[in-house]
């Protein structure tokens, strides 16, 4: 949408109210010279209203999409922000990947990664200390279905692809406050008095989605063929205006629908020997 179109998602009834206006999530106006509105729309599935788990195992058998600038993710968010806004209440990324073709020195669809996000507030995020990537021995993860899983206990969070460990974090030996090195700073400790594994001592729900592009650095500006700049005020326009470069990679006419993230199953397991395990 261009040239002065106004997108209003605020609604007028309690059941039709936009709940997140961060980053202009409820209302935008496309003016002359401004960014296009929603050049790409995608989807997500989340279990926040149906299933939450505090400690347990989750397995998802999925085939991730293929196509430039696609960003598939299977992840977990806290049911309630018990310790404050993101990332203070934590985030568990079971799997993230990129739809781009493999390129030397960069992560494309031949890599998957897992990450824990945590910190007293944005942008104080300790995720670089709890993030790992895994390269496929041959081919790409988008070529077939794979099983992505997480073991989430009071003492460890471990992620896997097809049974191979991607990320393994001991969450009990030290607090995340100490892990992040924030002692002696002026920041407030949101997890003071809580167990060492806080903020990962709460219930989380599952999210599965495919995003596109973005300016947060997931694609650095030197990524091969990237048509937009993360620092540009018109990054959305740059991306969409270059669609002749990336749109063919989405293969719309392919009957196998490679641009989709396909889910075979999602399985939740509880630990009988762990207190507070099983769904809330």
Report the catalytic residues.
91, 96
**Residue whose pair of structure tokens reads 């749109």 in the numeric block:** 247
Question: Cα(84)–Cα(251) distance, rounded to whole angstroms?
Answer: 42
Q: Which residues contact 191 (CB under 8 A, 6 or more apart)?
A: 83, 175, 176, 177, 198, 199
Q: Are 116 and 127 in contact (CB under 8 A)?
A: yes
Q: How far apart are CA 100 and CA 98, in angstroms?
A: 6
Give residues with Cβ within 8 angstroms of 128, minimum separation 6. none
Q: Is the dihedral of CA 240, 244, 245, 248 positive or negative?
A: positive
C-alpha distances (whole Å) from 217 to each of 68, 147, 158, 214, 220 are: 16, 27, 25, 7, 5
């Amino acid at each position: 949408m261009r040239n002065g179109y106004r997108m209003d998602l605020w609604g007028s009834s309690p059941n039709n109210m936009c709940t997140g206006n961060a980053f202009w999530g409820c209302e935008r106006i496309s003016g002359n010279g401004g960014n296009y509105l929603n050049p790409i729309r995608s989807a997500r599935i989340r279990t926040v209203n149906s299933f939450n788990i505090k400690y347990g195992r989750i397995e998802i058998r999925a085939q991730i999409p293929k196509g430039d600038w696609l960003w598939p993710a299977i992840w977990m968010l806290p049911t309630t922000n018990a310790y404050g806004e993101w990332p203070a209440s934590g985030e568990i990324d079971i799997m993230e990947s990129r739809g781009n073709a493999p390129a030397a020195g960069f992560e494309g669809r031949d890599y998957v990664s897992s990450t824990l996000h945590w910190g007293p507030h944005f942008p104080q995020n300790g995720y670089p200390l709890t993030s790992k990537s895994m390269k496929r021995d041959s081919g790409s993860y988008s070529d077939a279905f794979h099983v992505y899983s997480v073991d989430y206990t009071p003492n460890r969070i471990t992620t896997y692809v097809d049974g191979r460990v991607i990320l393994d974090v001991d969450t009990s030996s030290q607090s995340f406050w100490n892990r992040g090195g924030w002692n002696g700073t002026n920041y407030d400790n949101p997890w003071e008095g809580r167990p060492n594994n806080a903020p990962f001592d709460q219930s989380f729900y599952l999210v599965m989605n495919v995003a596109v592009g973005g300016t947060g650095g997931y694609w650095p500006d030197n990524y091969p063929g990237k048509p937009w700049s993360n620092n540009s005020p018109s990054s959305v326009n740059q991306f969409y205006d270059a669609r002749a470069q990336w749109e063919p990679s989405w293969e719309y006419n392919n009957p196998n629908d490679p641009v989709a993230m396909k889910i075979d199953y999602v399985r939740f397991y509880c630990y009988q020997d762990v207190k507070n395990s099983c769904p809330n």
